[in-house]
Amino acid sequence: MQVFGGKFDFEDTSDKIRSNFDSFWQSLLTVFQILTGEDWNAVMYVGIEAYGGVSSYGVLACVYFIILFICGNCIL
């Protein structure tokens, strides 16, 4: 929540993305969505774009989501 909170808002879209990290409950639901594998890659791509794409810190966001998905599926 501290890393991605408020970062999933883009100027070119008028409606807010449902999977975000703006509040504790939305963060909990988004992490649950990633752990269950329900369209987790779309959340990952939004996280990459929120940090400047693949040529910037977006690569670290990509690594975070992949580790979360793999470790979460091993535990669940």
Q: Is the pLDDT of residue 12 over 70?
A: no
Question: What whole-number distance in Å separates Cα of residue 55 and Cα of residue 18?
Answer: 26
Question: What whole-number distance in Å separates Cα of residue 10 and Cα of residue 28?
Answer: 21
User: What is the chain's mean pLDDT, rounded?
Assistant: 85
Residue 49: predicted pLDDT: 87
Q: Is the pLDDT of residue 14 over 70?
A: no
Question: What whole-number distance in Å separates Cα of residue 44 and Cα of residue 67?
Answer: 11
Question: What whole-number distance in Å separates Cα of residue 64 and Cα of residue 72?
Answer: 12
pTM: 0.79
Residue 74: predicted pLDDT: 92
Calculate mean pLDDT across residues 31-55. 89
